[in-house]
Every structure is written in structure tokens, then in C-alpha cells.
Amino acid sequence: MPVRHERPRPVDRRVRVQGRPVDAYPALPPEAERGSVRRVTVVGEEVLRRPCREVTEFGTPGLSELIDDMFLTMHVADGAGLAANQVGVDLRLFVYDCPDDQGIRHVGHLINPVLDLPDPGSRRLVDDFEGCLSVPGAAMEVPRTDHAVVRGFDKDGNPVLIEGTGYFARCLQHETDHLAGRTYLDRLSKRDRKDALRQMEDRREDVFARRAIKAADVGR
């Protein structure tokens, strides 16, 4: 019997918004167009060290405004994800605009997220460099599983399930960590953590200057 060769399925490279493919999407998300830039908190601030509160009210103007501001703040800071406590708000919410390892762009927000990772026996850990907008200028290798699923809600209270692989899976894990009061520094050895903090001290002012220039451009 001849070997049957199945053609590989073509990859759908459309942008995923809230987990769903869309035919067209702008470079700057609509939320960012409506938002205002907020200050990004820096490691060492207390709001980054405590677990965030559950969101209990959905569909409010204040929640929509926060999401809009987080999208623009993330854009100005050249980030792939941003948690609410990184703008000083201790709510279980993060936004993302992040590619996966196939170059597919994922954009959206998640409220009250719950992270599901593969079982220890089947998960694949990948060491890759990771940075954080709240640790400006530093990057260190952090082991993360290459697949993650996050369940939560959108700003109107509708259930959302987001699946990520590769770099996007790393982003989902990183942002969920923030909402539990952890940064990637907490996953490093004492020696590597000191190295990351030295990098931050050396480079933070340059990072802040670049953000200020981009924020000024956005405001024009």
C-alpha cells in the first residue's frame, strides 16, 4: 500500500483579536487611539508585590478607560503585554499585543485570568530572554513552558479563552505572574536577579528618555 502524504494545512496568519481571526486590523489598536499614557511602575514599588484584586464590575466607563490607557502605555513603552498593576492599579487585568513564534499577531485584554499550563510530564520548557516594562533595560533568560491557555473575561463580562504558543505563551505567563504579585525577577537565581537589577540601573534613564519621546509623538 503506498504511503499517503497529507498536505500540511496552510497557516491562518490573520491577526487574532480576543482569540479570533480578523481580516484587517490597524497597526495601532483602536483602544490605544482612545487612550492616554500612564506612568509605568518600577520594580520595588509595593503595588507590584501584592496579588491584585478581582474585577467585580464589568461594562463600566472606568474599566474601558483603563484598558484604553493601558494599550497606549504599552505601545509607548514598546511592550508586548502590560498588567494593570504596572500602571498602579491593583486589578486582575492585562492587555497584550504580541506575536507568536509563527509571526501571528495576538491583540486583546483579559480580566480575572486563570492560567492553565500543560501537565508536568508533557510540558516543554524553553529558556529564552525575557524583559519587563517595570524592569526597564534589563533582560534575562527565564524558563517558561511553550504552550499556555488563559481563561477569563472581556470588559463586558463575556467569557474569553486565549491559547498561546512560543513567545505569546511566554507573554501570557509573564502577565499572569504580575497579577499574582510576581515579576520575572522572582524566577531568577539570586545572582541573576542582581545582574538584572544592575542592567536596569545602567539603562533605565535611556529607556525612560525613549518612552518620553514616543509619548510626545503620540500626543501631537
CA–CA separation, 2 and 107 (whole Å): 44
Rg (CA), the chain: 18
CA–CA separation, 193 and 55 (whole Å): 31
Give backbone dihedrals phi and psi of 43, rounded to 5 degrees, phi first: -50, 135
Q: Can you state the angle between helices 190-218 and 61-76, rounded to 10 degrees?
A: 100
CA–CA separation, 169 and 146 (whole Å): 6
Given 6, 175, 201, 205, which residue is catalytic? 175
CA–CA separation, 17 and 176 (whole Å): 19
Please confirm, yes or no, whether 65 is among the known catalytic residues.
Answer: no
Residues belonging to the active site: 175
